Amino acid sequence: SEPRWGWQNYAWFFGTPVNLTVLQRTFAISAWVTLVCLVAGYPYAYVMTAVGPKLRLILILCVLVPFWVSGVVRTLAWVILLQDSGVINSVIRAVGLSPVKLIRTQTGV
- C-alpha 81/C-alpha 103 separation (Å) is 10
Would you say the pTM of this structure is higher than 0.85? no
Alpha-carbon 45 to chain mean position: 24
Confidence at residue 69, expressed as pLDDT on a 0 to 100 scale = 83
Confidence at residue 13, expressed as pLDDT on a 0 to 100 scale = 92
User: How many CA atoms are closer than 13 Å to the CA of 76, on its beta-carbon side?
Assistant: 6
Domain ranges of the chain: 1-50, 66-109
pLDDT in tens, the chain (109 residues): 677 888 999 999 999 999 999 999 999 999 999 999 999 999 999 999 999 999 999 999 999 988 888 888 888 988 999 999 999 999 999 999 999 998 887 666 6
Confidence at residue 74, expressed as pLDDT on a 0 to 100 scale = 85
Confidence at residue 72, expressed as pLDDT on a 0 to 100 scale = 86
CB 81 within 8 A of CB 88: yes
DSSP code string of 4-62: --STHHHHHHHH-HHHHHHHHHHHHHHHHHHHHHHHHHHHHHHHHHHS-HHHHHHHHHH
Confidence at residue 3, expressed as pLDDT on a 0 to 100 scale = 79
